[in-house]
Structure 1
Amino acid sequence: MRLTVNNEETFVSTGGKPFDASGTVLLFIHGSGQSHLSWVLQARFFANRGWSVLAPDLPGHGLSGGEAITSVEGVADWCIDLLDTAGVETAIVIGHSQGGLVGLDLTSRHSGRVERLAIIASALAIPVTEGLLALAENDEQQAISAMVSNSHGGTGHRHDHTMPGQSHMLYGEQVMGRNRPGVLLNDLNACNNYTRGPDAAAAIDCPTLCILAGRDRMVPTRSGLAMTETIRDCQHVVIPDSGHFVQSEYSVETNTALRPFFLSTS
């Protein structure tokens, strides 16, 4: 589906089903240097089980036009503009990594628009090393390769994939490689500069689920666990053997954790 958000064409995956704004809407927010393709195993799964799915390519990413937004707060505000454009009053928000920071910020400042929040492989802050920032600036392809490798656990490196014929490594590089030059550095800087995490978490009053990866080398599990202690109504699941790209590496376990959370009324 293509929408015009803030005068820019935006590509939004609906999981292969027509989008119905009157249904229970799931808004999936991807991470740094990613696109809607990082959610393909969630978008299809939930769209085929009755949920209304919005999995956008953020501005400047994937198939969307515009320039990449330079701050987490800016992406959060853009997501509200997307909901307005799609005619959605409230949604369940799901964010991975940088998208988790966006989910925190969005929910804290626009609480009336969020029914529930799911945060995957994220934390209150995501500091980025100077080495990775320099690599993203000077040799983006090497930065992508390093991030894809470090974002997978043993299962991903062994190519044990829930989509037969695919490789986690190659798929990850393909997804990140489809963005315009400079987008990855932009996103990493947005993560590095975000400081509102503790205040945002303290302001969240909706039910929250955190899905954490036990072998996450990008956002340490301990940082995610610390975040769960600062959100009032929060439950968490740790997928022990997964790396950072938990929703693709362990998609069945991720969807199994998400589904009852989406269905819960308490």
Structure 2
Amino acid sequence: MDFIVNGHRAYCYTGGKSIDSAKPTVVFIHGVLNDHSVWILQSRWFANHGWNVLAVDLPGHCKSEGPPPASVEEAAAFIVALLDAAGIAKAALVGHSFGSLIALETTTRSPERVTHLALVGTAYPMTVSPALLDGALNDPQRAITMVNNFSHSLLAPPPSSLGPGTWLYGGSRALMRRVLASNPNANVFHIGFKACNDYANGEQAMASVQCPTLFLLGESDQMTPPRAARTLASKARDAKVVTVKAGHALMTEAPDDVLFALGAFLTS
């Protein structure tokens, strides 16, 4: 479904459902060089179990137009504008990696709009190594390989939500290449990584959050290790921490565990 946000077309996967103001709403926010499809199992489940779903492509990514957000704050303003465009007064926010920082900043900026906050594969500060920052800018294909090496655990998970024969590493790498190619006018890879690296409001934002918060972490995550979420968790007032057996790409490595954790959190 398309919405006009800040004068540009913004795409959200809704599970094929129309928006119903009588239903609760959950917004899924992807990370760097991803799109709405990383939430495919989780978003479809919620869409078919009584929820409005807005699994967004961030601006400048794939099906959404406009300049890609150059900061977490800019992306958070987009999420608020998206809620306005969709006619949604309140929503639960679920964000992965870069998306988790966006969800957090959105919550502190518009606390009256957010019912639940789920931070998936999060860290603060979300420091990006100089090698990855440089690679994302000057050699993005090599950097995509590096990120995927770090994003997947050494576990041998059962077939993911895409079914038997799925190659998680190859699918993730192909997605990143497709997202990068979708915007020839801006390097969304480097822009996103720099936004993560530059974000400095995490502790203050977390301390101000009033709604229930879930930290959903991958125990084998090398990009945002569970220990890197301790700073935020220590500032949270009403938080639950769930760790699953997966790496940074936990939505595809452990799709059922992620779904069960989100379902329990959002329906409690």
Q: TM-score range by the shorter chain?
A: over 0.9
Amino acid at match of 1:95: G
Measured in 2, the distance between the counterparts of 1:86 and 1:99 equals: 19
Amino acid at match of 1:263: T
Measured in 1, the distance between the counterparts of 2:42 and 2:151 equals: 18
Amino acid at match of 1:189: K
Equivalent residue, structure 2, for 1:230: 235
Shift of residue 174, structure 1, vs aligned partner: 2.1
Aligned 1:123-134 pairs, distance under 5 A: 123-134=123-134
Shift of residue 139, structure 1, vs aligned partner: 1.1
Equivalent residue, structure 2, for 1:104: 104
TM-score, structure 2 length as denominator?
A: 0.94
Residue 258, structure 1, aligned to residue 262, structure 2: yes
Equivalent residue, structure 1, for 2:26: 26
Equivalent residue, structure 2, for 1:14: 14
**Larger displacement relative to structure 2 (15-24 or 214-223):** 15-24
4+ residue stretches of structure 1 with deviation over 6 A?
Answer: none
Measured in 2, the distance between the counterparts of 1:80 and 1:44 equals: 23
Equivalent residue, structure 2, for 1:78: 78
Are the counterparts in 2 of residues 209 and 236 from structure 1 also a CA contact under 8 Å? yes
Equivalent residue, structure 2, for 1:167: 167
Measured in 2, the distance between the counterparts of 1:31 and 1:21 equals: 27
Unaligned runs of 5+ in 1: none
Select the residue among 244, 247, 252 that pairs with 2:248: 244
1:135-189, Cα deviation, whole Å (9 max, x unpaired)? 1111111111211221011246x67423223211121112211222510100000
Are the counterparts in 2 of residues 26 and 93 from structure 1 also a CA contact under 8 Å? yes
1:6-25, Cα deviation, whole Å (9 max, x unpaired)? 11111110123223233100
Select the residue among 221, 224, 248 that pairs with 1:219: 224
Measured in 1, the distance between the counterparts of 2:195 and 2:37 equals: 21
Equivalent residue, structure 1, for 2:113: 113
Measured in 1, the distance between the counterparts of 2:21 and 2:125 equals: 32
Are the counterparts in 1 of residues 203 and 231 from structure 2 also a CA contact under 8 Å? no
Shift of residue 201, structure 1, vs aligned partner: 0.6
Measured in 1, the distance between the counterparts of 2:105 and 2:42 equals: 22
Shift of residue 87, structure 1, vs aligned partner: 0.2
SS in structure 1 of the partner of residue 117 of structure 2: strand
1:82-102, Cα deviation, whole Å (9 max, x unpaired)? 000000000000010011111
- Distance change >3 Å, CA 209–CA 138, structure 1 → 2: same
TM-score, structure 1 length as denominator?
A: 0.95
Q: Give identity over the alignment, percent.
A: 37
SS in structure 2 of the partner of residue 217 of structure 1: coil
Residue 148, structure 1, aligned to residue 153, structure 2: no
Residue 196, structure 1, aligned to residue 201, structure 2: yes
Equivalent residue, structure 2, for 1:176: 176
1:177-231, Cα deviation, whole Å (9 max, x unpaired)? 1222510100000001000001001111111111011011001110113321210
Amino acid at match of 1:238: T
Measured in 2, the distance between the counterparts of 1:21 and 1:149 equals: 42
SS in structure 2 of the partner of residue 178 of structure 1: helix
Cα RMSD (Å) = 1.4
**Larger displacement relative to structure 2 (223-232 or 135-144):** 223-232
Equivalent residue, structure 1, for 2:3: 3
Are the counterparts in 2 of residues 153 and 215 from structure 1 also a CA contact under 8 Å? yes
Unaligned runs of 5+ in 2: none
Amino acid at match of 1:72: V
Equivalent residue, structure 2, for 1:67: 67
Aligned length: 262
Aligned 1:85-96 pairs, distance under 5 A: 85-96=85-96
